[in-house]
Structure 1
Amino acid sequence: MGFLTDTTHLHITMWVVGIVLFLVAAFMHRDSKGRKIVHMITRLIYVLIIITGLTLFIEHSSYDAMLYGLKFLFGLLTIGMMEMVLVRGKKQKPVTLFWVLFAVFLLVTLFLGFKLPVGFNFMA
């Protein structure tokens, strides 16, 4: 399982793909068959994000368990808001609050992810 925990590359790739697919699904026509397919693929990516994040959490949480726990929590909240936007948007219910929460949770998750010791160092 070293390929899951040696670096954060797989996890970062998964969440970048997840966000792109989420945005594609969110801005597609509500009743299109393509949106349903993209939404299902996005759900698969959510699972892969959680699996890669959980393996990193288990492997590296001994450095700073509280911050890693918070990052894991905010990551789950981000995925939850992504799903709420897609599901409520399909039902034509208001999604503005969930878009705002998605943006806030995503920024907090990214900040924590890049700040923690296993995170990506932009200055290197």
Structure 2
Amino acid sequence: MESIFYQSHAGSWAFLILFFLISYFFSKQKITLMLQRLFAVIMIVTGIGMWILYGFPMFYLIKGILAILLIGIMEMLVGRKKRQQSHGGMWAGFIILALIVLLMGYNVIG
């Protein structure tokens, strides 16, 4: 069961980033934004499943909170681009959070 959650979780992250980039750079596409949100939900559900299987460790709770913040920044970046608002500083937050979550996920940090 752990392997199913892990593979689904890692794959959903890859698709989430892919659909985020497509949604951002091709902002007229509506389907990619919906797919981005679908994979965000899959990622959250599988993350919670793994958190339960691992016995509720605090490390993964912190990673989950950072991941949800990262998803929020992705949504804000796409929304600000569509409304043509400034979003330069949010890219820095996106890159930093993405690196932290990725390094925590592969146990480089921790």
When normalised by structure 2's length, the TM-score is: 0.89
Helix, strand or coil: the match of 1:115? coil
Helix, strand or coil: the match of 1:92? coil
Q: Deviations over 1:53-85 (max 9, x none)?
A: 1111111144xx221111111111111111110
**Is the 8 Å Cα contact of residues 85 and 95 (structure 1) preserved in structure 2?**
yes
Question: What code does the residue aligned with 1:37 have?
Answer: I
Aligned-residue sequence identity (percent) comes to 31
Q: Using the alignment, how far apart are the partners of 1:70 and 1:114 within structure 2?
A: 14
Deviation at 1:37, TM superposition (A): 1.6
Count of residues in correspondence between the two structures: 107
Deviation at 1:88, TM superposition (A): 1.1
* Residue matched to 1:23: 21
Question: What code does the residue aligned with 2:3 have?
Answer: D
CA RMSD of aligned residues (A): 1.5
Q: Which of 65, 78, 95 is 2:70 aligned to?
A: 78
**What runs of 5+ residues in structure 1 fail to find an aligned partner?**
117-124
Matched, 1:44 2:38: yes
Q: Using the alignment, how far apart are the partners of 2:16 and 2:51 within structure 1?
A: 19
**Is the 8 Å Cα contact of residues 61 and 68 (structure 1) preserved in structure 2?**
no
**Is the 8 Å Cα contact of residues 88 and 95 (structure 1) preserved in structure 2?**
yes
Question: What code does the residue aligned with 1:15 have?
Answer: W
* Residue matched to 1:6: 3
Q: 1:61 to 1:91 in 2, by over 3 A?
A: farther
* Residue matched to 2:101: 109
Q: Deviations over 1:63-113 (max 9, x none)?
A: xx2211111111111111111101111111111122111111111101111
